[in-house]
Structure 1
Amino acid sequence: MGRLVSFFLQRGMLVNVLVLGTALLGASAIIKMNKEAFPPINLGHIFITTIYPGASAHDVEVNITIEIEEELEEVVGIQEVRSTSSEGMSVIQVVADENMGDLEFQRLFDDVDAAVARVEDLPIDIEGRPSLRTVTSDDIPFIQIAFSGSYTELDDFIFKTEDRLRQLPGISAAILVGHPEQEVNILVDPVKARGHFIDLRLIASEIGKRNLEGSGGTLESFVAEKKIVSVNKFEDYRDVLDTNIRMSADGFGVKLRDIAELKLEPEDRKLMVRNNGAPGASIILKKKAGANTYETSDAVHAFMESLELPEGVSYKIHVDSSRIARDRLNLVISNAIIGFVLVMGILFLVFDVRTAFWTAFGIPFSVLFVFIILNAVGLDMNMLTLAGFVIVLGMLVDDAVVIAEQYNSNRESGMEPHAAATSAVATMWKPVLASATTTMTAFTPLLSLAGLPGQFVWVIPFIVVTALLGSLIDSYLFLPVHLAHWERSHSSDKAEPNNRSDTSGSRNVQKKAFVHKLEGAYRYALWHGLRFRYVILGAFLVLFIGSMMLMRFGMRREAFPQDAAEGFYIDVSLPSGYSLAKTTEATLAIEKIIRQLPENELVGYTTRVGTNSTDTTAERGTLDNIAIVMAYLTPFSERDRTAREIMDVIRDELRPVSSASQFEYTVELQRIGPPLGKEFEIRVVSNDDNLRYNRADEIKSFLSEQAGVLEVDDDRVIGKDEWNLKINHDMLSRTGLSVEDVVQTLRIAFDGMVVTDLVTLDQTLDFRLRLNERARADRDFLKLMPILNRNGQMINLDELVYIQPQPGTGQIHHYNGKRTTTVFGTLDVDVISGEDVIRKVDAQFGSSRDVYLSYAGEPVETQEIFADLLIAAVIALLGIYLIIALIFNSFRMPFVVILAIPFGFIGVIWSVFLHGYPMSMFAGMAMIGLMGVIVNDSIVMVYRILTDRAEIESGDPYASWDYIIDGAVSRLRPILLTTLTTVLGLLPTAYGIGGYDPFLSQMCVALSYGLMFGTLIILYLVPSIYVIGGDIHRVMLKVRSIRPSGNA
């Protein structure tokens, strides 16, 4: 190492070039990198969606969902399959095994696609084929624009706006929700159709034959070739009325206009959208992968500001991910700058200007070094990448402090600058390397955390490890050159070091007076502490045990705290039979309550009637009697109340309103961070509906009596009452009809069927065939229904089919192929946790042979997260032990160092508890990272003490005390400096001086106080443990010396 340092000392210009190159490349990387709020993640989910118009939930389940699920059973790599069968739609969610890589996931997607393609028995009248899509962070809506206005006011304007937004640079998709395109409804009068011996299937066939366009080939001639084109398409939608449905040879017959009328209406997607208290529609924008977040957002805002809004139309931007990215990045950068200034201040306070400047120089160098690496591997700049910098900010000078302090000591002893620099690195490179590698080892296992949380936070340990690597490069190679060359070029005092004045400030390399006083006080305290070393050890043990009990029984766990959540949902359900209009009327009372929130808290709100999906891009509803209200709040820093506190007020105001309007509701938080599910989810799995529903009701009743359970509900949705048609198959066969003929006729009659379209350059206009409104509302529709057999005879369906009324099921849920009902709810997390709920339910009910309980949601994910953190902690501890063993060439001595680690957790636990925080994933990461940080100073102290072990092995304990005290005192300044620089780098983020973030603030609080308490352990407990080790060693020697004489 000495030769390498000498090489760079002799080539100062090379060092300057390398530093300048790092600065230029790092600055270029910062400019080029895209800025996002959170890192990109792949949820590992594949959604299979099939549209089956007019089908009941049971029909969808039997004919689509089960068919596909059975094929999926053969696919390898699936963790679980969840599905929902609702009226007209099947949605199957395939969850991949955790930790599946991108290539493996792509293979799984291909296998799932192939499995779906193998399904041969799907109904012929589904829309297209089942569609597959994956969900990544790129699919998360980038900007949500909520328009208010009537359908006619929005009609032409909204489509043009959607099209122009889609064409903006950086936008990958613009999804219009709540304003369907118009279609032509061909409304057949069944009485007239029967009178002309025409049924709906014949009408559909004839219209399809009429509206065709095609090519007839090429006509060759001596002059030129001519293309023969056959054009029979409609030029105007009203041309369809001239379609001949039945025509005789003499030219008499029936045209469509004789039996039907046309109505130009919006497509019925069973969904109504209201924005900010008025009818409207929303445009959801998605950003292209890799597109610049800020530039794309600015382009959207500029376009919207330039729009000329029609009279009666207004808009609000409810969601803008770029705003979240700007706010998060700004607060992290602000806190980092404040931390950097504080670190600089402490360095200038303890060191002279030269040493302080070049020691602090390691921070920007390491930061730029990391940005070069980030840009090279294609990572974005987001809140968590910058969080890594905040955490490691103060650590970046730890290595430099040790080298600089040793350099100053060498200069004080009379060495020349070059010799002092070479000796400083040669003397301290091993403990410095050990300190850095132990910190890297502590953070490295966090790179392998499983699942979505691992994808979310892995970049933090990556930043820490990479930055520490850059810090080592600076401390070993660049810092010695800067210190030595700066002193040579700026020193005007040519006197020998031994002749220099001892007054403070006469030479920059001399210690400051207050450091001597501090060392004297520490020497005195440590000497008395070693006298009571067993008392000190016992006190720390008691405090450690008490802290562990506090963490286990007195603190709640929440993997990702939601203090900064910026919205909530209100899921609404009404009695069966409510129409969209009546459901909309019921939601007006909810909107009125939300509208009363102050302006500094509420951005806006959206009501979706016909769906309870939180997916803002959902374009179709499922049931008329359900709705969801989405409230969007201002940033956490701009309001006095958290989202949970606002939700509590909303719940109180909703209770009397819900009773009067006869609706049930749950209020759920719109979570930030990776999706972990609801606050608790209990899946009751059984194909026996009665057993499943009874068990779900028992669980709901049990939970409603538990303190802290605010709301409890399940995912049962009562659909419309159904008329189950019972067919007399013998009579049906005699008429020459099939079941398929009857079902197809009924589906066309009531839900309609798109039979053709009219395509222009501007739009595609669909033609939907169905019975007119009066016939669809007639309970005696079977008598009116026109249906022909293969011989052209009109058949009376009321003679073949009879109606059996039955209650309808709105949605049918499956879990791994079995019917399931999920019980969920919301909690007062200060009273009861999701984990407590699951433990109580499992103890009270458990699984049986007929009914199986499966648990999901946030508590299950939280348990897995902390289990992974425990594994990471064990791996980190083993790695740290092995590194220290290699440094000290001993398997016994590392125990003296690592025994300080568990006691360091005391500071983390109490700081989190006293600040009122839950034990989060970030606090757990802080505890693991703290393992490496704490042993850094411990290694430096023990390494210095172990330089000469002769005194320790002598019989005089007080002689060994003097040597241990001298070694500890000599390391006081670098230990305090490394602690102060790290803590000061963290405190601005911990207390949100430059802006508060719940994730990072809790992590920084835990690290700061854990390190401060850990320093106390290093200064007093480590020397005590070392002396206790000497006591044990001497006792063992005495035992060995006595043993032979005792056996004689």
Structure 2
Amino acid sequence: MLNKIIKYFLENKLVTVLILIGFIAWGIVTAPFGWQIGALPSDPVPVDAIPDIGENQQIVFTQWQGRSPQDIEDQISYPLTTYLLGIPGVKSIRSSSIFGFSSIFIIFSEDVEFYWSRSRILEKLSSLPSDLLPEGVQPALGPDATALGQVYWYTIEGRDKDGNPTGGWDLHEIRTVQDFYVKYGLNATAGVSEVASIGGFVQEYQIDVNPDALKAYDIPLHKVMQAVRKSNKDVGAKTIEINQAEYLVRGLGYIKKVEDIEKAVVAVQENVPVRIKDIGVVSLGPSTRRGLLDKGGAEVVGGVVVARYGANPLQVINNVKDKIKEIAPGLPKKMLADGRESQLTIVPFYDRSELIYETLGTLEEAISLQVLITILVVIVMVYNLRASFLISSILPIAVLMVFIAMRYFSVDANIVALSGIAIAIGTMVDLGVILSENIIKHIDEAPPGQKLIETIYNGASEVGTAILTAVSTTIVSFIPVFTMQAAEGKLFGPLAFTKTFALIAALLVSLLIMPTLAHWFFGFKINNKFLKKYGGYALVLFGIIGLFTSQIWGGVLLLLFGAIGIVKNVFDTKKENFSKPVLFLFNYAELIIVLIGVTWLLAKYWLPLGASKSLLLNFIFVSLLVGFILGSFRFLEYYYKSILKWCLDNKVKFLLIPTFLILLGANVWLGFNSIFGFIPKTIDKLGWDIRTTTVWSGLTHTFPGVGKEFMPSLDEGSFLLMPTSMPHSGVEYNRKVLGQLDMLINNIPEVEMVVGKLGRVESALDPAPVSMYENIINYKTEYMLNEKGHRVRFKVDKEDRFILNSGDSLSNEEAINRGVVLEELIPDDNGNYFRNWRTQIKSPDDIWNEIVKVTKIPGVTSAPKLQPIETRLVMLQTGMRAPMGIKVYGPDLKTIENFGLQLEEILKNVPSVKKEAVFADRIVGKPYLHLNINRDEISRYGLNVEDVQQTIETAIGGMKITSTVEGRERFPVRVRYPRELRDDPEALGKILLPTPTGAQIPIRQVVDFEYERGPQAIKSEETFLVGYVLFDKRDGYSEVGVVNDAQAAIEAKIDAGDLIVPAGISYKFSGSYENQVRAEKRLAIIVPLVLGIVFLILYFQFKSVATSLMVFTGIAMAFSGGFIMLWLYGQTWFADFSLFGTNFRDLFQIQTINLSVAVWVGFIALFGIATDDGVLMATYLDQSFNRNKTDNLKGIRAATVEAGQRRIKPAVMTSATTIIALLPILTSTGRGADIMIPMAIPAFGGMIFAAVTYFIVPVLYAMREERKLKKIQS
């Protein structure tokens, strides 16, 4: 059946071409890179930086202004949580009670549809019992988004026509524009769930009543409130007709200005009206705020755009930018005193599209380099230019087909998903190599007169089944990734899909399209004598034209090809007596030119030595590095026959090598003690402790086992500094500290911008107290990039100094110190890249260390290293603002806090824990002033509790009475005492309390003032009170290892009696490491099952258990090679040498790599490649033994060597391509490389060590055949 399909497409080339053109056009339309080609429309795959691995969460948000966290917890959070627990599909409920509001986070199971869960919550909220919540309190469902949807943050600033910042705007003016114009404008954008405001002052009408005037006029406070409420009303009186015209009748009474309130009548005494202005002062002022925004030390107004759940983040951001362009011209302007015109301008300070484009740029570059590498390897290994272009064509076509599948199977494009394509390159190339190499072999061996199409069909059909089996085993090997659940499933599920799509696409292209392309490529000949004779001259002419039209490289290539054509026409190699080197150059001149050209392009776009080194030096380095690897494989190919013969003659000696490597890999993975732990237990019985010997302790130290973590952090290009101040600190103190932090950070040259937030944005997604800071720190990329995330070259002089538009020339370091920006530099394709970092700054970690140094302020805690997306994900998953921590549950807040403080002290002494990042919640630290009502006293005056509470609430806190309607703007009207009469306890005691008799008494006569420490925020999970102890790991330690160390330290203290766990207290470790533990447990079950399935596939292919087991040895070797490479990466001596002034450890970013889910995915991908080699080798062995029936030992070994020689060329080509293709990833410092590198290391190491399998399968196969022969002969 498969052969018939191959034959159909080979014979019906028009169908093949139409399908090919269709796939290419469709792939371009759906590509996530934003390609605009001709008239083709654009329908790209949805794009984000990383997958949303947060919980399936909904938020119920309830405001109760002015109420303490304890009131919120007792009267809202707790009763509402217990009521919502009964919703179907609920996995967990967390709540947070903070001053003025309650947030309840309902976590649903992953299989519950997002909007279905919202409808279930709304059903519950619509049927709340009347007595469940306080009167007037109405809970609301949060936006249909998660905190990860915060994709665009901005400030609104006054700018002149040149874009320079100006003053002249009050914060309340800008906040009004944000709240009533910008916010609603952006909220109407497609894909936006919410736009929330932060910073500045919300304007309100403030009525500060004079208690002495109230007493003099004998007017109680509630009458003032009633008068204000009655003075703000419009009515409609239907219509009247005058002269047959209909008029709408309106009674206008809305408050429009301060004077309208001042004229409101409160009472009439002796026919004289008492107005508001007679008993108080009316003014416009700022309302109480619980959050603000600071930029570089100055207060600003801003907002955050939240993308709707399931929306395409990149498309949402682009929509928002389009809307900003639309509304920007209409924003207010004013003329400044200096004559400049200032207009309010929306200025972004966090734009996730930058990260998305940089991430896509890294992957686009990696895939492009892999195509170049494929061409390079095939040229060197096959000496066939047509074959190299044929094989490399499989990659772009297959990648475009992957984009089509992603678009219509709803797989979003992100760094992890697209990495599936990058790690599938080896297998994809393998298919093309196998097919083309076999076709070339058949063409070379074809009998005279055989048609080329028949030869190509024979070559393709011979390996078609083997290719199908190899792809099947590779796809099946990825089943463990498909079965991952929760965060790890969301993270790597898209990768499994894209890798599967890539393999299926490569399979289709290889079997259906490549034979047709091969027929054209290998059948194309120039038979026209005129073209043969004068084609070279034409190419030279076009080359000269190219040189004069600035197409230098294209012109040079055409000149060279033309010159070669002319020389070949002049000289006849059969008649001329050329030496072998000259003859080689003569015959392979085109190949050599293309090889040099491709290597030059590879060096130009890869730049492994960095942009600071010249292109020539990078070219030499790439040539040496690639030449060394290809030379090694060429050497292996050349001497393969001799080595294989030796292995067949010395089977036991040879098999000791793979046995040792497999054992070494197991020691690296599990640890020496885990593998050989049985030895000391046995020797202990003899009275000898072998553990104390130098050899044993040395091996234990050398092979401790690989550290574990969930995921390496993705470099997002920005940090999120989240320190906190003490709970008792107020808004004004925190404002000063926040401004100080921003100014200190802003002075770091590598920092582009820093904007700090304290408290909360006006959104249900941000439940933060005023003592919590969030400083978004955007640091500059290492090299200047364009808007698509690609590095840009700039004009330099002969001394490599950058030439500015002004005519000045500066060195890179001088330009950094001067603060040169992109617009000042002159783009030049032949120039140098501009490095934004100082010489001593090597990585983002160095920038973070600079931030830590300057932000050590008394009274402010330190913070773990966090990034915006990473933090949102951690908080979604655990509720904590750190990647790891301890959750302490208990009966009361004081006990929880005390136990947490004890844990803090223990954790600070754990060596693997970063001491300065340990912080236990100071839960009970907020000063409370209680006004205890004396019930005996109020009964004497005929008062009840509600009367007293209303006076306290209005006079001290201020009560919103109504709202003005001023066009599109709405401002609250608030009544309260003047600040000087309510800002200290003595003044509070003088607040007048009206009694039923008409007398007004000071409130101190009926209340007692009491000071107490209370909670700043109350958190709970599953209704149980909880506190957090946050911590972070030191560099070089793994997450799981640090948690184990911390757990052991706590348990040791408990066992020793130094730590007493109070009654009712329990604790558990939480954080992203939980995902690793869960994933590892699942993989421990799934991977063996999948290996069993792979074994069955192999058995169905070979109908032999023994042959299937031989193929499995490739998996074992690859597995070991991957772990050995991980171990080498953790050794300080490994690759510690320099070439051309560049240290290889820095070049390949060699550091300790922990065993994360990303690394496991790399191993799983490696299994497929390793199996492919074994499948093809075993297939050739079967074919060889079927052709060469033998009854002697010599014949068996001859047949084995013959099969080995047939497979060795495609095998080394696949290995060389895979290894070299991984080099740009291993040296990459672009966005997304943090995740790609750990996935690449197992494949890199595995393919190097898997070269042993070129000999294992033939040796084991020969051993089996020899034993069969011996049995027959005996």
TM-score when scaled to structure 2? 0.73
1:549 aligned to which of 663, 666, 670: 670
Q: Hey, what does 2:849 align to over in structure 1?
A: 648
SS in structure 2 of the partner of residue 960 of structure 1: helix
2:10 partner letter: L
Contact between 2:294 and 2:738, CA under 8 Å: does it hold in 1? no
Verify: 1:434 aligned to 2:469, yes or no: yes
Q: Hey, what does 1:634 align to over in structure 2?
A: 780
Verify: 1:670 aligned to 2:867, yes or no: yes
Contact between 2:185 and 2:327, CA under 8 Å: does it hold in 1? no
* 1:961-1014 alpha-carbon deviations (Å, 9 max, x no partner): 433333222211111122222333332222228877211123223322222222
1:527 aligned to which of 629, 637, 648: 648
Deviates more, 1:758-767 or 1:193-202: 193-202
Q: Hey, what does 2:491 align to over in structure 1?
A: 456
Q: Distance in 1 between matches of 2:1114 and 2:1234?
A: 29
Q: Hey, what does 2:812 align to over in structure 1?
A: none
Q: Hey, what does 2:211 align to over in structure 1?
A: 190
1:702 aligned to which of 874, 889, 906: 906
Q: Hey, what does 2:380 align to over in structure 1?
A: 349
2:86 aligned to which of 46, 50, 74: 74
Q: Hey, what does 2:267 align to over in structure 1?
A: 246
Q: Hey, what does 1:590 align to over in structure 2?
A: 741
Q: Hey, what does 2:408 align to over in structure 1?
A: 376
Percent identity over the alignment is 17
SS in structure 1 of the partner of residue 712 of structure 2: coil
Unaligned runs of 5+ residues in structure 2 are 32-41, 158-164, 337-341, 529-573, 575-579, 592-632, 673-702, 784-835, 876-881, 1055-1060, 1130-1149
Q: Hey, what does 2:1208 align to over in structure 1?
A: 972
Q: Distance in 2 between matches of 1:897 and 1:36?
A: 39
Contact between 1:165 and 1:171, CA under 8 Å: does it hold in 2? no
SS in structure 2 of the partner of residue 757 of structure 1: strand
Verify: 1:483 aligned to 2:518, yes or no: yes
SS in structure 1 of the partner of residue 459 of structure 2: helix
Q: Hey, what does 1:398 align to over in structure 2?
A: 430
Verify: 1:142 aligned to 2:377, yes or no: no
Q: How does 1:995-1014 map to 2 (within 5 A)?
A: 997-1014=1233-1250
* 1:77-99 alpha-carbon deviations (Å, 9 max, x no partner): 222222221211212222222x3
2:358 partner letter: D
Q: Distance in 2 between matches of 1:304 and 1:905?
A: 58
Q: Hey, what does 2:533 align to over in structure 1?
A: none
Contact between 1:608 and 1:627, CA under 8 Å: does it hold in 2? yes
Contact between 1:219 and 1:225, CA under 8 Å: does it hold in 2? yes
Q: Distance in 2 between matches of 1:1012 and 1:533?
A: 17
Q: Distance in 2 between matches of 1:997 and 1:702?
A: 36
Q: Distance in 1 between matches of 2:289 and 2:1214?
A: 63
1:156 aligned to which of 173, 189, 193: 173
Q: Alpha carbons of 1:486 and 1:1028: their partners in 2 closer, same or farther (altered >3 Å)?
A: closer
**Deviation of residue 766 (structure 1)?**
1.1
Q: Distance in 1 between matches of 2:513 and 2:478?
A: 25
Q: Which has the higher contact order (CA 8 A, sep 6+)?
A: 1
* 1:838-881 alpha-carbon deviations (Å, 9 max, x no partner): 53256347888621112211222332343344455334323322
Q: How does 1:307-322 map to 2 (within 5 A)?
A: 317-322=348-353
**Deviation of residue 627 (structure 1)?**
3.9
Q: Hey, what does 2:100 align to over in structure 1?
A: 88
Unaligned runs of 5+ residues in structure 1 are 494-500, 1042-1048
2:49 aligned to which of 38, 44, 47: 38
**Deviation of residue 1019 (structure 1)?**
0.9
**Deviation of residue 731 (structure 1)?**
5.2
**Deviation of residue 160 (structure 1)?**
4.0
1:255 aligned to which of 275, 294, 300: 275
Verify: 1:878 aligned to 2:1092, yes or no: yes
Q: Alpha carbons of 1:6 and 1:923: their partners in 2 closer, same or farther (altered >3 Å)?
A: same
Deviates more, 1:129-138 or 1:197-206: 129-138
Q: Distance in 2 between matches of 1:135 and 1:2?
A: 51
Q: Hey, what does 2:1142 align to over in structure 1?
A: none
Verify: 1:362 aligned to 2:373, yes or no: no
1:386 aligned to which of 412, 418, 425: 418
Verify: 1:110 aligned to 2:119, yes or no: yes
Q: Alpha carbons of 1:734 and 1:895: their partners in 2 closer, same or farther (altered >3 Å)?
A: farther
Q: Hey, what does 2:72 align to over in structure 1?
A: 60
2:478 aligned to which of 425, 428, 443: 443
Deviates more, 1:343-352 or 1:65-74: 343-352
Q: Distance in 1 between matches of 2:974 and 2:190?
A: 36
* 1:710-769 alpha-carbon deviations (Å, 9 max, x no partner): 221122245542222333445545655443333232122222111111112241121011
Q: Hey, what does 1:17 align to over in structure 2?
A: 18
SS in structure 2 of the partner of residue 784 of structure 1: coil
**Deviation of residue 465 (structure 1)?**
0.9
Contact between 1:603 and 1:632, CA under 8 Å: does it hold in 2? yes
Q: Hey, what does 2:455 align to over in structure 1?
A: 420
Q: Alpha carbons of 1:624 and 1:530: their partners in 2 closer, same or farther (altered >3 Å)?
A: closer
SS in structure 2 of the partner of residue 608 of structure 1: strand
Contact between 1:704 and 1:712, CA under 8 Å: does it hold in 2? yes
Q: Hey, what does 2:1013 align to over in structure 1?
A: 807
Q: Hey, what does 1:912 align to over in structure 2?
A: 1126
**Deviation of residue 161 (structure 1)?**
6.6
1:233 aligned to which of 241, 251, 254: 254
Contact between 1:912 and 1:1002, CA under 8 Å: does it hold in 2? no
Q: Alpha carbons of 1:937 and 1:591: their partners in 2 closer, same or farther (altered >3 Å)?
A: same
**Deviation of residue 818 (structure 1)?**
1.0
Q: Distance in 1 between matches of 2:897 and 2:182?
A: 49
Q: Alpha carbons of 1:376 and 1:297: their partners in 2 closer, same or farther (altered >3 Å)?
A: same
2:140 aligned to which of 112, 119, 130: 130
SS in structure 1 of the partner of residue 865 of structure 2: strand
Q: Distance in 1 between matches of 2:765 and 2:891?
A: 31
TM-score when scaled to structure 1? 0.88
Contact between 1:567 and 1:643, CA under 8 Å: does it hold in 2? no
Contact between 1:651 and 1:667, CA under 8 Å: does it hold in 2? no
1:55 partner letter: R
1:632 partner letter: N
SS in structure 2 of the partner of residue 647 of structure 1: helix
* 1:180-219 alpha-carbon deviations (Å, 9 max, x no partner): 3211111112232233333333322232223122334456
Q: Alpha carbons of 1:462 and 1:728: their partners in 2 closer, same or farther (altered >3 Å)?
A: same
Q: Distance in 1 between matches of 2:1270 and 2:904?
A: 64
Q: Distance in 2 between matches of 1:179 and 1:548?
A: 55
**Deviation of residue 810 (structure 1)?**
1.0
Q: How does 1:760-775 map to 2 (within 5 A)?
A: 760-775=966-981
Q: Distance in 2 between matches of 1:733 and 1:1034?
A: 112
2:756 partner letter: T
Q: Distance in 2 between matches of 1:977 and 1:238?
A: 87
2:1044 aligned to which of 828, 836, 843: 836
SS in structure 2 of the partner of residue 198 of structure 1: coil
2:712 aligned to which of 555, 561, 565: 561
RMSD: 3.9
Q: Distance in 1 between matches of 2:965 and 2:645?
A: 92
Contact between 2:45 and 2:406, CA under 8 Å: does it hold in 1? no
**Deviation of residue 361 (structure 1)?**
2.0
1:274 partner letter: D
Q: Distance in 1 between matches of 2:268 and 2:1107?
A: 103
Deviates more, 1:961-970 or 1:58-67: 961-970
